[in-house]
Amino acid sequence: MRETLAQDGRQVAKLLLGSFVTHHSPEGSVTIRLTEVEAYFGPRDSADPDPGSHTYRGKTARNWPMFGPPGHLYVYFTYGMHFCANIVCGPEGTASAILLRAGEVVAGSSLAASRRSASRRHSDLASGPARLASALGLTTADSGRDVLAPPFGLELAREPAPDDVVVSGPRVGVAGEGGSMDYPWRFWLDGDPTVSRYKAARPRSGPAT
């Protein structure tokens, strides 16, 4: 599994569609089938510079998990209220991660709903990166932890999603160059009701958060 995650992030992103991520906590377990993800890459002086990435200006005390090893979590806090979760990918030492944007809760629905009391429909429980992280019970305390080892679990889909079902486009909430069609690194399952709604970013300076 770790060798699979060590591939190029654009390929890993597609492989993660339809896969299952689980978090076993003292409260119980929640499993989500991934339906939407985004790929992010490295610093401005790297082989894959990404203006939309947290690592664009280099390694920091927050973004260090993105530099590997693959298969670990990078969880960050944004807008003073939300957590968002990524799975690190690519070769160790290079910055790359896949933001988990949306999915379907397939186990632990009651627990996920208790964490997402504002959600009115089952399809909304993990529709959006903050909702997904909340449904799984993830916080920055989980950043750097191995998603392939307890209390987590990652199971790839038995068969990759067919090409005619996988759609790609600009990333959500990334302003400026990093959000353009030159970076069509958001991937989702066409027609799935859990995929989040696309919102163009408001112009701002600096990398996305």
pTM to 2 decimals?
0.92
Residue 41 confidence (pLDDT): 97
Q: Which domain holds residue 87?
A: 2-189
How do the pLDDT tens digits run along the chain, 209 residues long?
A: 999 999 999 999 999 999 999 999 999 999 999 999 999 999 999 999 999 999 999 999 999 999 999 999 999 999 888 999 999 999 999 999 999 999 999 999 999 999 998 888 999 999 999 999 999 999 999 999 999 999 999 999 989 899 999 999 999 988 777 777 889 999 999 999 999 876 655 544 444 43
CB 172 within 8 A of CB 188: no
Which pair of structure tokens corresponds to residue 106? 């397939």
Residue 2 belongs to what H/E stretch?
A: helix 2-5
Residue 87 confidence (pLDDT): 98
Considering the domain boundaries, does residue 145 fall inside one?
Answer: yes
Angstrom distances, CA of residue 123 to CA of 111, 132, 137, 172? 15, 11, 17, 19
C-alpha dihedral sign at 130, 74, 141, 147: positive
The C-alpha angle 27, 138, 51, rounded to 5 degrees, equals 170
Considering the domain boundaries, does residue 204 fall inside one?
Answer: no
Q: Domain holding 92: CATH number?
A: 3.10.300.10
CB 201 within 8 A of CB 174: yes
Q: Rounded CA gap, 194 and 180, in Å? A: 24
Q: Rounded CA gap, 85 and 73, in Å? A: 7
Considering the domain boundaries, does residue 15 fall inside one?
Answer: yes
Domain count, the chain: 1
Q: Rounded CA gap, 84 and 209, in Å? A: 9
Residue 198 confidence (pLDDT): 67
Considering the domain boundaries, does residue 194 fall inside one?
Answer: no
CB 189 within 8 A of CB 18: yes
Considering the domain boundaries, does residue 169 fall inside one?
Answer: yes
Residue 206 confidence (pLDDT): 43
Place of tokens 């894959």: 48
Residue 199 confidence (pLDDT): 61
Considering the domain boundaries, does residue 84 fall inside one?
Answer: yes
Instruction: Tell me how far the alpha carbon of residue 68 is from its chain's centroid.
Output: 15
Phi, psi for residue 166 in degrees, rounded to 5: -85, 125
C-alpha dihedral sign at 111, 117, 122, 124: negative
Considering the domain boundaries, does residue 179 fall inside one?
Answer: yes
Query: How many residues are listed for the chain in this entry?
Result: 209
Considering the domain boundaries, does residue 105 fall inside one?
Answer: yes
Residue 203 confidence (pLDDT): 44
Residue 117 confidence (pLDDT): 85
